[in-house]
Structure 1
Amino acid sequence: MTSQTEIAGYASLFWTRDLNDDVAAAGAFAASLARSGAGGVRMLCQHETARPIGVWDEAVEDGRGLWVRGRILDVTPEGRMCAALVRAGAMDGLSIGFRTLKARPDETGRLRVLTEVELWEVSVVTFPMLPGARIGRVG
């Protein structure tokens, strides 16, 4: 029997600058999620594309940002390791992998405002590019 670790949290926060000077506008993920749903968004550990670690059961935009809920599965060594680190509190970041479809500079010209992205994956990470993107619930 496969065991799993349920997680949920914000993978992106609207109007919040990340360490790469990107800001996600509200609605930036809507079209991508309408096309693929949560099932089209891969769950990875540290953006390692060759080794998925689980599945996202829900990915939605709310008033705060991109909220995700999913399950890390123990069927691979990476899944077991990632789940153990999440349960221990050693890893609690979330980070998005995407392709920019539409963006514009902000009023200052220093930040890039992402207005539409194609969301490929949400990774569980040690150090998220957006410091506030964190797992908020582990079950």
Structure 2
Amino acid sequence: MEAAREARAFAFAPLETKRAGLRVSVGADGAFEGYASLFDIRDTCGDVVAPGAFASSLRRRGAANVKMLWQHRPEEPIGVWASIEEDARGLKVNGRLDRAVARAREALSLIRAGALDGLSIGFRTLRATEERQGGRRLIEVDLVEISIVTFPALPQARIGAPTPSQVADDFGRKLAQLRMREAALGFEAALLRVR
């Protein structure tokens, strides 16, 4: 009886999500970019990726030998990675969906509709340490594939994830809009005083 009550309570519990709104853009040719992993952020599995964890694997494999898959399904490649590189933030990727593949066309449509934007890595752990708060710190991994997924283990790993300079640009635009709105309101108030 108690288990059934808990199951009902769980089923009706509100789903919590925490993510920034993004403008996802995909080129006409299916090209996109984003971050497949971010450094020093704990994922839902408890893992944290250390800066440099992908470096030796990327030197060995290059972008061409890291597969782009649909939802981690090895039987469903959907495109190719043009570039994969570590930057100060994480694992930045540029890829292109193969529009000759039916699943890639579906993915492209879902990405454009805003229904799909997650990225997730498939890897083998080569070196890791146990974290005091649980989980692992991944020091070196062999990157095998990067998938386009519905729910990434690292919620911030997204197609179109903004770079710090894009965030600053967006902030600057919003600030300029607020200042223009404030000036317009001030002008309207001055006109009302004159009447």
2:33 aligned with 1:8 = yes
Deviates further, 53-62 or 109-118: 109-118
Alpha-carbon distance in 1 for matches of 2:30, 2:91: 20
TM-score, reference length from structure 2:
0.67
What is the one-letter code of the residue matched to 2:145? E
Q: What residue ranges of structure 2 are gaps of 5+ in the alignment?
A: 1-27, 162-195
> How much has 1:4 moved relative to structure 2?
3.0
Query: Could you list the per-position Cα deviations for residues 71-111 of structure 1 after superposition, in whole angstroms to 9, with x for gaps in the alignment?
Result: 001112111111111111110000000000100012x2512
**Residue 154 of structure 2: aligned partner:** 130
Larger Cα Rg: Structure 1 or Structure 2? 2
Q: What residue ranges of structure 1 are gaps of 5+ in the alignment?
A: none
Alpha-carbon distance in 2 for matches of 1:83, 1:120: 22
Structure 2 vs 1, CA of residues 128 and 94 (structure 1 numbering), >3 Å: closer, same or farther?
Answer: same
Alpha-carbon distance in 2 for matches of 1:43, 1:128: 15
1:1-139 aligned within 5 A: 4-106=29-131, 108-136=132-160
Divergent runs of 4+, >3 A: none
Query: Could you list the per-position Cα deviations for residues 13-46 of structure 1 after superposition, in whole angstroms to 9, with x for gaps in the alignment?
Result: 0000000000000000000000011111100111
> How much has 1:49 moved relative to structure 2?
0.7
> How much has 1:48 moved relative to structure 2?
1.1
Helix, strand or coil at the partner of 1:50: strand
Q: Percent identity?
A: 54
Q: Which has the higher strand share?
A: 1
Q: How many residues align?
A: 134
Helix, strand or coil at the partner of 1:52: strand
**Residue 171 of structure 2: aligned partner:** none
What is the one-letter code of the residue matched to 1:23? V
Alpha-carbon distance in 1 for matches of 2:35, 2:56: 18
TM-score, reference length from structure 1:
0.93
Alpha-carbon distance in 1 for matches of 2:154, 2:58: 20
- RCO comparison, higher one (Cα < 8 Å, 6+): 1
Q: Which has the higher helix share?
A: 2
Helix, strand or coil at the partner of 2:96: strand
Alpha-carbon distance in 2 for matches of 1:4, 1:48: 23
Helix, strand or coil at the partner of 1:136: coil
